[in-house]
Structure 1
Amino acid sequence: MRRTSARLTMAGIVAFATAASLTVAAAGPGSATESAAPRTLAVGSPTGFGASTTGGGNGTVHNVSNASQFTSAVQSSGSKQVRVNGTINLSSMVKVSANTTIIGVGSHARIEGSGLNISRVNNVIVQNLTFSNSNDDAINVEYATNVWIDHNTFTNPNDGAVDIKRASDRITVSWNRSYNVDKNMLLGHSDSNGSEDSGKLRVTYHHNWFDGTNQRNPRVRFGNPVHVYNNYFDSVGSYGVASTENAGVLVEGNYFENTDDPFHLGEGSSDKGSLVARNNHFVNSGSGQQGGSVNSIPYGYSLQSASSVKASVTAGAGVGKI
């Protein structure tokens, strides 16, 4: 099995451990420290449509521990890496600039109260953060390309956990855990937006833990192909994956448990899309609905046996697992 976003080389372990051992104690109120010797802080590398994402690369490192530091850092120009220490309390969505890596330190870094707006930018990584109680989405992605959302935990957003829309493209969503979420992951916001979205919205979802989420895991419009592979659907409420409005979704090698409706065509007033399902594993779950054809997946990947996905994902998805 290839777990490029979770398995580390020894050099990567040393680099991340070194970064995690830095302190922000020297920063005064409202200020952030910056590293004089930048290193690449993101752990691993993305697989799938977001594979070319490099985020802030080895740009300037900002160590932040409050909302003003965080906002200033993620909106600064140039390549930058933002290390989040503790809880960042936000009152509204914060826009993230291009060429940015945002990474939580340890297992307790948290964005609380609102979320991130990745809009009209390129090249963003968000890794190892808990997003809780957002008054909007936890992460909103629109008109953005080359985005990697990896090893985060999402709980209790007012709207979506990760919504991707408006001509966004080349994105990977991997090794995240969502729980206590209704509208989990929307891909394509409107049936009437085909002029912008057709030929875009190509997203890979792999090794995510949909832990009792209710719907939109994901709900897809127009994107073709969208690749949903090696995820664990655990007691999903309304439905797992929905393909609508000319979308083409490959649902492959997933583990569905206690999920009556694992995948289907159409949703609400949206017309049916296409969905191909293969090599999935079902435990106390429905068999799903599929039909039509899906464009071929244009990248190489290693597919894990579906029956082993539950153990891997529950052990490896979410904050503190990189």
Structure 2
Amino acid sequence: MQVVDPHVHFWDLDTHHYPWLANQGTSFVGDARDLKHNYLPDDLLREAGDIEVLKVVHVEANHDPADPVEETRWLESIADAGKGLPNAIVAAADLSAPNASEILAAHAAFDRTRGIRQILNVHANPLYDYVGRHYMREPAWRKHFALLEQHGLSFDLQLYPAQMEEAAALARAHPGVSLIVNHAGMFVDRNGVQGWRDWRDGLRVLAACPNVSVKISGLAMFDHEWTVESLRPYVLETIDAFGASRAMFASNFPVDRQFGGYAELWRAYAAIIGDASESERTALFRSNAERIYRI
């Protein structure tokens, strides 16, 4: 099976600082102590086994926020020195910061930079709350978000269903910016019917914006004992919302490695869409990621 993986993380703990790994602990996404080791392109390729990984997109790995551009600089260096991986970089930037415009320009100067991610997840339950503030409502943040189009950068959109209406308004206000929903919209509130409806309907509100696409990834963060059947409704619902032309499978490795193997995950995706057409399979496994991330 050939894949283009549009959501991976690499880190080198010997040379760089990642606060969440330096002060690791247990959260809803698992035990970060299991991730406190270097993870580099050769590690991913070794784990892939019989899955042929053609290209990968690196998404910022919560590197030292004091120097976000250093992560991009390092990733460019390992790609140049090795097998060309990662092929594209989604870099980190705090769009609320006074120096955001300078950070964006610095990232954009690197050949492989394609976009920016700033995690936006806000939740009333502290267990699930990432950032504790509604960035999309802040004037400075929105002002700097508008600069993405000027630099030709996309935005990886990591948020919860309750934030999807607001994100759709952002997408409509900036039709020239490509937004990519991370982790199938992170369906977090799973204890009742309303949580499902919020996620399902939120996906469709976002999908109504032609400049929004989605990555089907990170499902194991909320389903640690996942099976093909437990993933099936989330995969199919996401594809139904966005269509096969604006959805793409991704691994979220090594984070999701805590809950299953790399090849096992990709084979699960293949089993779930086993009756899809060849063109749909090509789009979901490879060509959408290549087009959206321009690789």
| TM-score band, normalised by shorter chain | 0.3 to 0.5
Query: More helix per residue: 1 or 2?
Result: 2
Structure of larger gyration radius = 1
Higher relative strand content: 1
Higher relative contact order (CA 8 A, sep 6+): 2
